[in-house]
Amino acid sequence: MTSTVPASLTRTAEGAALQAVFLDMDGTLVDTEGFWWDVEAEVFADLGHRLDEAWREVVVGGPMTRSAGYLIEVTGADVTLDELTVLLNDRFEKRIGRGVPLMPGAARLLAELHRHEIPTALVSASHRRIIDRVLDSVGRHHFALTVAGDEVTRTKPHPEPYLTAARGFGADPRLCAVIEDTATGVAAAEAAGCRVVAVPSVSPIAPAAGRVVVGSLEEVDLAFLRGLVT
């Protein structure tokens, strides 16, 4: 976990119930879910296997170990999980080195949260090396704290990543808003007790108690997020 949390950022504005905002990365903040699938397809093609498009919904939003392990199992590829993890991260890092497109509304939302000094964290199942490369494009100043998938014992859909972020801010998870694009991430945030905004990327997500589903980040602003926890 990387944190640059000044004491002033651990307090919300007078009268505001929202204590922190946590954003997922791939498919939520940056338009990279397709990048991951393309990279997985390329790596497995090099190994002599073709991925079935139907497997995409199984691996989207999951931790590297689960996604890579599943693809090894269904393809029968002659590669270990550790070897495949390196191949995927190397290929993905090279891919995002050419630029990372933001999702619609992301730049405006990040700027608003930063302007109002809302404690904001990036919480991703991606590894630290990948997060750091994305932050080079997105702007590190937007996040006082970042949590990577290889820095927690149990990553999404376990609540540990979001509980870790809440502890980092000294915040009550019930007064934190999470923005996620996959069922895996939504499950992690809800298990942590957070309020959730789902912005589905690859697979649909149904509305539920404590969860709002929107079409894009263009529908989300600070007032919207504050309304979730009041």
State pLDDT tens for residues 18-48. Answer: 999 999 999 999 988 788 888 999 999 999 9
For the segment 137-180, what is each residue's pLDDT rounded down to a tens digit? 899 999 999 999 999 999 999 999 999 999 999 999 999 999 99
What integer pLDDT is reported at residue 4 of this predicted model? 63
Cβ of 209: how many Cβ atoms within 10 Å? 5
Q: What's this model's pTM, rounded to 2 decimal places?
A: 0.80
Tokens coding 44: 């497995």
What H or E segment, with its residue span, contains residue 146?
strand 145-147
For residue 94, pLDDT over 70 is answered with: yes
Q: Distance between CA 14 and CA 21 in Å, rounded? A: 17
Structure tokens at 155: 């990553």
| Average pLDDT score over residue span 7-26 | 70
Residues 195, 178 contacting (CB under 8 angstroms): yes
Separation CA 205–CA 46 (nearest Å): 33
Q: Is the pLDDT confidence value at 10 over 50?
A: no
SS3 string, 83-152, reads HHHHHHHHHHHHHHCCCCCECCCHHHHHHHHHHCCCCEEEECCCCHHHHHHHHHHHCHHHCCEEECHHHC
How many residues are given for the chain?
A: 230
Confidence class of residue 8 from pLDDT cuts 50, 70 and 90? very low
| pLDDT at position 11 over 70 | no
Q: In the predicted model, what is the mean pLDDT of residues 210-219?
A: 95
Q: In this prediction, what percent of the chain has a pLDDT beyond 90? A: 72
Task: Tell me the per-residue pLDDT of 175-188, one tens digit each, with 9 for 90 and over.
Answer: 999 999 999 999 99
Determine if residue 222 is left, alpha or beta; phi over 0 gives left, psi from -120 to 50 gives alpha, anything else beta. alpha
Average pLDDT of every residue of the chain: 90
What pLDDT, in 10s, does the model give residues 63-83? 778 888 999 999 999 999 999
Read off the amino acid at residue 77. A
The pair of structure tokens assigned to 79 is 């590669």
Instruction: Name the DSSP class of 203.
Output: S
Strand order in the sheet with 195-198: 2-3, 145-147, 120-123, 20-23, 176-180, 195-198, 211-213
> Which tokens hold the place of 42?
């390329």
CA distances from 94 to 46, 122, 185, 202 (A): 16, 21, 25, 23
